[in-house]
Structure 1
Amino acid sequence: MKRCSRCKEDKPRAAFASNKAARGGLQAYCRECWSAYHQARQLAKGKNVRPRVEAPPGHKYCRACGRARHLKRNYNLTESQRDEMIAEQKGLCVICLKAPAVHVDHCHETGRVRGVLCFNCNSAIGKLGDDPDAVRRAASYLEGISWKPTLVAPGVYQLPS
């Protein structure tokens, strides 16, 4: 335990930042007091101090910043561009026309953004390997065409191609 010289509370040593120049190897102020002190100093100097946003445990960025960073890095899109795409689709997935469209769909070969889909439709396209022929075969399977064999000779069946 160590006592913070600013708030006068006894806190665990983990609540203090390291300082090799200090006698005990730790800062005199706890992390919370140091943060408040530093922020007040920056404001007094006339510098812009951003409000602190808590990131989830184990994450470097807050959820909003992480999402914006993901869109820019992976798809070269801003959040406003993605929102425009969603508005053009009236907020619905263009495949199932039911679920809200929130997932960016892109071509894995070229990297080109195709649109915004719901989670299930985006996953289905990905599972089929972005292959239009596989999607057509899946549709014909669902319609019952591809799996109904045709009798060619007694005991010999042929599947439609």
Structure 2
Amino acid sequence: MSDLPEKVCRDCGEPKSASDFWRLASSPDGLAPYCKPCFKSRNAASRRKASARDGRKPRRFIPRQEAPEGMKYCPDCETLKQVDDFVRYRGSADGWTSYCKPCHTARGVASKTRTHGGTRDYHLKRRYGLDSNEVAAMVKAQMGLCAICLTPGPEHVDHDHKTGRVRAILCFNCNGGLGQFKDRPDLLRRGADYLEGNVWKPTLVAPGVYRLPS
């Protein structure tokens, strides 16, 4: 394309060369209707409007800056940081997320709160298909007690790892204990017998073959 004035910006009304406009395939002339500075100003205004609509504090617009080697600029906290302060992301041009780790985490929490009511609801819905209200109803049906040890205030959803079926709400220790015993009733029964003094001693019936007592 020639650098001679050949297009008038719809915002500022100035005739500018084609290189002063971004390419836009859907436009009849292949160029955006606004020059690059006006396009940037429009984007900044759009971000400020979206922030105000979401109840967030509008950010001061800072033009993209060339960061030194090994550094990257976070537009959320408006800070130049080491690239190690960002999360690796193959989908970006530089291999890092746009926002530093604290800002990236804060955005994730805000998104889960906005769409699911909070991070706990997000994980409950994703893993068990429940929300916090349904979990609270299950705890209430259990009279506020762990379904195994009867400790008050259970918080952990127990489910069948094969079928995904939710079984009950347990305390941390009981939920972890089932996992340690691999959800196997036979191991739990042997454990109970062991604690009661009935040690299970296998009988050698053939070389390398043992029979456990029934």
Q: Tell me the residue number matched to 1:129.
A: 182
Between Structure 1 and Structure 2, how many residues are aligned? 120
The 8 Å contact of residues 146 and 160 in structure 1, kept in 2 or not, is answered as no
Instruction: Quote the offset at 1:146 in angstroms.
Output: 2.4
Match of 2:49 among 14, 28, 38: 38
The 8 Å contact of residues 71 and 78 in structure 1, kept in 2 or not, is answered as yes
Query: d(CA) in 1 for partners of 2:50 and 2:128?
Result: 35
Query: d(CA) in 1 for partners of 2:164 and 2:184?
Result: 15
TM-score normalized by structure 1? 0.59
C-alpha distance after superposition, 1:46-102 (max 9, x if no partner): xxx4568xxx93531257622111111111112111110011112211111124210
TM-score normalized by structure 2? 0.45
Are residues 1:61 and 2:109 paired? yes
Secondary structure at 1:61's aligned position in 2? helix
Matches within 5 A, 1:122-161: 122-147=175-200, 160-161=213-214
Are residues 1:98 and 2:109 paired? no
- Cα distance 1:87–1:50, how it changes in 2: closer, same or farther (>3 A)? farther
Q: For 2:119, give the aligned amino acid.
A: G
Percent pairwise identity? 42
Secondary structure at 2:183's aligned position in 1? coil
Which one has more relative contact order, counting CA pairs under 8 Å at least 6 apart? 1
Q: Tell me the residue number matched to 1:16.
A: none
Structure 1 runs, 4 residues or longer, greater than 2 Å off:
39-42, 49-52, 56-59, 146-149
Comparing both structures, which one devotes a greater share of its residues to strand?
2
Query: d(CA) in 1 for partners of 2:150 and 2:128?
Result: 23
Q: Tell me the residue number matched to 1:82.
A: 135
C-alpha distance after superposition, 1:86-144 (max 9, x if no partner): 11112211111124210000000100000000011000001111111111111111111
Q: Tell me the residue number matched to 1:72.
A: 125
- Cα distance 1:68–1:34, how it changes in 2: closer, same or farther (>3 A)? same
Structure 2: 5+ residue stretches without partners: 1-35, 58-100, 203-211
**Greater Rg by CA:** 2
The 8 Å contact of residues 128 and 134 in structure 1, kept in 2 or not, is answered as yes
The 8 Å contact of residues 145 and 160 in structure 1, kept in 2 or not, is answered as no
